[in-house]
Amino acid sequence: MNNRPLLVQALNREPLTRPPVWLMRQAGRYQASYRAIKSRHSFLEICRSADIAYEVSMLPVTEFDMDAAIVFADILLPLEGLGVTIDFAPGPHIANPIKKPEDIENLVVSEYDAYSIVPKVISRLKDTLACGESPKAVLGFAGAPWTLACYLIEHGPYKGFQGVPVFAEQHPQAMQTLLDQLTTTTIGYLAAQIAGGADAVQIFDTWGGLLDEESYRRFSLPYITRVINAVQTTDTPVILYVNGSSHLLETMEESGAKCLSLDWRTDPSDALARLKSETVIQGNLDPVSLFAPPALRTQKVRSMLENFSARPGYIANLGHGILQETPESAVLDLINQVKSYSPDIACKPVVRL
Ligand code: CP3
């Protein structure tokens, strides 16, 4: 009997009877149970307590039976290890942003709690989820160096980060120093999560799609590739998500990531034609679909599954993080629909008597 999590089998492109499913940002404010915890603790308190972060990471698994738990944390937390002060209200706020190239020199590498808390939460999740008849995967994650630089440079309120590519062109040397530092930090952070037992890790390049291909090759791809080369082993594949990346699919593939997570605007047939067969695909339901009337929602989920499920390793997911106002009933329906999906049934013409 094969007793490894379905998601791990998918990442190894093993034949499966149905795709595994989990959702980006699956633990959070759309859940009544999370809101109840948030009424007692701030977001940072949750992230800084291994007990509460564990409890929150487990919510989507217990409530919706997701095929994976993703550790509850934030991409911006490791910046505290560079002497950056972060708060969430709930949007991120950085007290000491980079306003000029010289500020980059003031970043200091220091001990940071996330390095111990996040791996600890991952090990606890593994202890709970790795055994039993249907074990579940445990995922770690980090932000891409470019996306982290975006938050550091464009000191909120965040209005689309257009100033960041401008800063990068005006101060290429300083930008490289910053991206190098963020790469080192990210490698250490992900390596600790993998040592804690993560089955796979996802890199979020939420603002990578701001860049055209040439700029992406200068400011994002080389750093992501370094992270992947340092942490991706046969046992811990890397999933790469770049938001707004229809123009970057082949470039993303060059990073060496085992799996690409497609954003919701990426056309499925275009992606299938462009990506190499060994690249695993994850995604890409529009998060807004979960607000559609039930019949339309079901149709959208089915069309995602019909488009991708024949592809070895395919992982069902959204094309970006779940939205705060999403009805929990729609999430449950989505998960149930993926779990009961069978290509044979879906393809059979409806016979009317
Ligand atoms: O997926 C999960 O369940 C794990 C948790 C997770 C959070 N942030 C918790 C969170 C993950 C994977 C992230 C990643 C993250 N954080 C990204 C990349 C993913 C993406 O959506 O593109 C980015 C860009 C951030 C930065 C960030 N953190 C923003 C922009 C915000 C505010 C906007 C928002 O969604 O509220 C946060 C805060 C944050 N991170 C919250 C949560 C649950 C909300 C805080 C709260 O509950 O008060």
Q: What is the pLDDT of residues 208-220, one digit of tens each?
A: 999 999 999 999 9
Residue 129 has pLDDT above 90, yes or no: yes
Ligand 1 atom 33, closest CA: 91
Distance CA 202, CA 259 (A): 9
- C-alpha of 158 from chain center: 20
Count helices and strands (H / E) in the chain. 16, 9
User: Which stretches of the chain are assigned E, i.e. beta strand?
Assistant: 68-70, 86-88, 92-94, 137-143, 200-205, 238-242, 259-261, 280-285, 315-318
Q: Where does the pLDDT of residue 114 fall: very low under 50, low under 70, confident under 90, or very high at 90 and above?
A: low
Q: What pLDDT sits at residue 344?
A: 62
Distance CA 173, CA 176 (A): 5
Residue 197 Rama label (left phi>0; alpha psi -120 to 50; beta)? left
Q: What pLDDT sits at residue 348?
A: 43
141 burial level (CB within 10 Å; 0-12, 13-18, 19+): buried
* φ/ψ of residue 240, rounded to 5: -115, 125
Q: Output the CA–CA distances (angstroms, integers) from residue 77 to 91, 145, 180, 200, in the order listed.
A: 13, 13, 18, 19
Task: Identify which of 47, 76, 88, 148 to mutate to test ligand 1's pocket (most ligand atoms within 8 A of the CB).
Answer: 88
Averaged pLDDT for residues 83-108 = 90
Ligand 1 atom 8, closest CA: 74
- Both tokens of 196, joined, read 């804690």
Pocket of ligand 1 (CB under 6 A): 24-29, 38, 43, 70, 72, 74-76, 88, 90-92, 141, 204, 206, 243, 321
Distance CA 72, CA 95 (A): 23
pLDDT tens profile 151-167: 999 876 777 898 999 99
Mean pLDDT for all residues in the chain: 94
Q: Which residue has the higher pLDDT, 106 or 148?
A: 148
Q: What percent of the chain has pLDDT above 70?
A: 95
Q: Where does the pLDDT of residue 132 fall: very low under 50, low under 70, confident under 90, or very high at 90 and above?
A: confident
Q: Which of 286, 281, 146, 283 is nearest to 208 (CA)?
A: 146
Q: What pLDDT sits at residue 222?
A: 98
Q: Where does the pLDDT of residue 351 fall: very low under 50, low under 70, confident under 90, or very high at 90 and above?
A: very low
Task: Identify which of 41, 74, 154, 324 to mutate to test ligand 1's pocket (most ligand atoms within 8 A of the CB).
Answer: 74
Distance CA 37, CA 44 (A): 12
How much distance in Å is there from the Cα of 243 to the middle of ligand 1?
A: 14
Q: Where does the pLDDT of residue 349 fall: very low under 50, low under 70, confident under 90, or very high at 90 and above?
A: very low
Averaged pLDDT for residues 76-105 = 91
DSSP one-letter string for 304-328: HHHHHTTSTT-EEEESSPPPTT--H
Distance CA 59, CA 206 (A): 24
Question: Which of 132-136, 156-160, 224-228 is the most confident on average?
Answer: 224-228
What residue has token string 């590519």?
165
pLDDT tens profile 239-273: 999 999 999 999 999 999 999 999 999 999 999 99
Q: Which residue has the higher pLDDT, 107 or 19?
A: 19
Averaged pLDDT for residues 50-79 = 97
Ligand 1 atom 4, closest CA: 72
Q: Which domains does the chain have, with CATH numbers?
A: 6-266 (3.20.20.210)
Averaged pLDDT for residues 161-186 = 95
pLDDT tens profile 296-314: 999 999 999 999 999 999 9
Strands 92-94 and 86-88, how do they pair? antiparallel
Q: What pLDDT sits at residue 113?
A: 66
Residue 353 has pLDDT above 70, yes or no: no
Distance CA 296, CA 311 (A): 24
Distance CA 200, CA 79 (A): 22
Q: What percent of the chain has pLDDT above 90?
A: 86
